[in-house]
Amino acid sequence: MDMREKKLNGKVIFDGKVVKVELDEVLCPNGNKSFREVVRHHGGAAILCVTPDDKILLEKQFRYAYDEVIYEIPAGKLEKGEDPYQAALRELEEETGNKAEELIHLTDVYPTCGYSSEVIHLYLALNTKKTKTHFDDDEIIETYEVPLDEAKEMILDGRIKDAKTIVAITYYLMKYKN
Amino acid sequence: MDMREKKLNGKVIFDGKVVKVELDEVLCPNGNKSFREVVRHHGGAAILCVTPDDKILLEKQFRYAYDEVIYEIPAGKLEKGEDPYQAALRELEEETGNKAEELIHLTDVYPTCGYSSEVIHLYLALNTKKTKTHFDDDEIIETYEVPLDEAKEMILDGRIKDAKTIVAITYYLMKYKN
């Protein structure tokens, strides 16, 4: 059965710097009509940086929507049409002062499929070189090196709650440390 | 250092059925001013249902924002102030026809911390009983039993991309199958 919904009509509610919000009326395959609230987003790139002694880079950053300081791997949003690989290289260096010669693609993750179009591209960085950080004007980030085993504990006890961070760490463990 | 940002002023852009969109001007701790686009959401509950023979329930559902049919564990959004445990029990039965006597809380996940306030509460269901499904008018869902090992492969090869689904499966594997 074709599960697709057809757009009947739609309007742009808000066109911001980060998100574009649309409200579409759709026809469901069972003949019912419904509305879909869609948050359009250009996507993001996030980097799991693992040191030779099995530590990972974790950032602490205040996240306004949660009113909370949380742990995350380095990440940044893409400009429209931007190559996620290049964005990942740039964000890793700007936010942590670590330059990677190359990145390994881990997987792509759909953070919240019910209303957002965002895709987060996850990469692995090994053997990075120290350079220097370069933050945006409204970006305040502290970076820590955390042993992989400790990061695993932080997921299990709920200290790490960020989805891309949990997916990157557990994906890496499953693929490379099993 | 206090990393918090202070709200200077804000406005509601859109107040929908699923999301509420706000645009706030904030004062960063370094003295800079910035704008924050915030998608307010009441949160969700998702359930990893594991059968006695180590299979999990995976749903296929069309997701309009991605224009794609994707694999997910059963889940639903909370009404304002709703208890996520009760919502999880309800969604599991409505979407899959499986009734759980009790659920085990796994963890809470922040799907996309850059602009959304959504929290997804993850639960584990064991020893469920067959009842019957009850879908919303605009909900078309197919449910499959998938062996845990196969689900792991589906994460590794990118067939499963949904964040809550990957977090629930990998969290369960780390905590209970290690």
Q: Which residues fall within 8 angstroms of residue A109, CB to CB, at 6 or more apart? A: A119, A120, A122, A163, A164, A167, B161, B162, B163, B166
Instruction: Measure the CA–CA gap between B176 and B46, rounded to whole angstroms.
Output: 18
Instruction: Measure the CA–CA gap between B75 and B141, rounded to whole angstroms.
Output: 11
pLDDT, tens digit, 9 for 90 and up, residues A95-152 = 999 999 999 999 999 999 999 999 999 999 998 999 999 988 888 999 999 999 999 9
Count of Cβ atoms closer than 10 Å to residue A74 Cβ: 26
Rounded to an integer, the average pLDDT of B66-93 is 96
- ipTM, interface predicted TM-score of the complex: 0.97
Q: Are A169 and A151 in contact (CB under 8 A)?
A: yes
Rounded to an integer, the average pLDDT of B2-18 is 96
Instruction: Report the interhelical angle of B148-156 vs B163-176 (nearest 10°).
Output: 130
Q: Answer yes or no: do B28 and A107 touch at CB < 8 A.
A: no
pLDDT of residue A137: 85
% of chain B exceeding 70 in pLDDT: 100
pLDDT, tens digit, 9 for 90 and up, residues B134-150 = 988 888 999 999 999 99
Is the per-residue pLDDT at A158 higher than 80? Answer: yes
Q: Answer yes or no: do A112 and B140 touch at CB < 8 A.
A: no
Q: Is B12 within 8 Å of chain A by CB?
A: no
Rounded to an integer, the average pLDDT of B93-99 is 95
Q: Is B4 within 8 Å of chain A by CB?
A: yes
Is the per-residue pLDDT at B14 higher than 80? Answer: yes
Which residue from B118, B39, B13, B22 is spatially nearest to B76, judged by alpha carbons? B118
On whether the pTM is more than 0.95, the answer is yes
pLDDT of residue A105: 98
Domain ranges of chain B: 6-40, 44-176
DSSP string, A42-110: --EEEEEEE-TTSEEEEEEEEETTTTEEEEE-SEEEPPTT--HHHHHHHHHHHHHSEE-S-EEEEEEEB
Q: How far does the CA of residue A20 sit from the closest CA of chain B (Å)?
A: 10
pLDDT of residue B5: 96
Is the per-residue pLDDT at A49 higher than 80? Answer: yes
- Name the residue among B4, B28, B62 with its Cβ closest to that of A3: B62
Model confidence at B56, pLDDT cuts 50, 70, 90, reads: very high
Q: Answer yes or no: do B111 and A163 touch at CB < 8 A.
A: yes
Q: How far is CA A90 from CA A77, A173, B17, in A?
A: 11, 24, 37
- We find that the CATH architecture of domain B44-176 is Alpha-Beta Complex (3.90)
Place of tokens 């965002």: A118
Place of tokens 């002062």: A97
Rounded to an integer, the average pLDDT of B77-88 is 95
Q: How far is CA A77 from CA A26, A45, A46, B7, B175, in A?
A: 29, 6, 9, 23, 31
Q: Is A143 within 8 Å of chain B by CB?
A: no
pLDDT of residue B139: 85
Instruction: Measure the CA–CA gap between B32 and B109, rounded to whole angstroms.
Output: 30
User: If residue B75 lies in a helix (H) or strand (E), which one and from where to where?
Assistant: strand B75-77
Rounded to an integer, the average pLDDT of B59-70 is 97
pLDDT of residue B1: 75
pLDDT of residue B138: 84
- In degrees, rounded to 5, the angle at the alpha carbon of residue B112 between the alpha carbons of residues B162 and A60 is 125
pLDDT of residue B172: 98
Residues from chain A that touch B26, judged by Cβ atoms under 8 A, are: 64
Name the region of B31 (left: φ>0; alpha: ψ -120 to 50; beta: rest). Answer: left
Is the per-residue pLDDT at B178 higher than 80? Answer: no
Per this entry, what is the length of chain A? 178
Looking at chain B, list the stretches that DSSP marks H as alpha helix, in order from N- to C-terminal side: 84-96, 148-156, 163-176
- Name the residue among B113, B117, B164 with its Cβ closest to that of A162: B113
Work out the mean pLDDT of chain A and round it to a whole number.
96
Is the per-residue pLDDT at B11 higher than 80? Answer: yes
Backbone angles phi, psi at B86, to 5 degrees: -65, -40
Work out the mean pLDDT of chain B and round it to a whole number.
96
Rounded to an integer, the average pLDDT of B165-174 is 98
pLDDT of residue A91: 95
pLDDT of residue B136: 86
pLDDT of residue B4: 95
For B14, the closest chain A residue by CA position comes to A13
User: If residue B30 lies in a helix (H) or strand (E), which one and from where to where?
Assistant: none
Name the region of B54 (left: φ>0; alpha: ψ -120 to 50; beta: rest). Answer: left
pLDDT of residue A136: 86
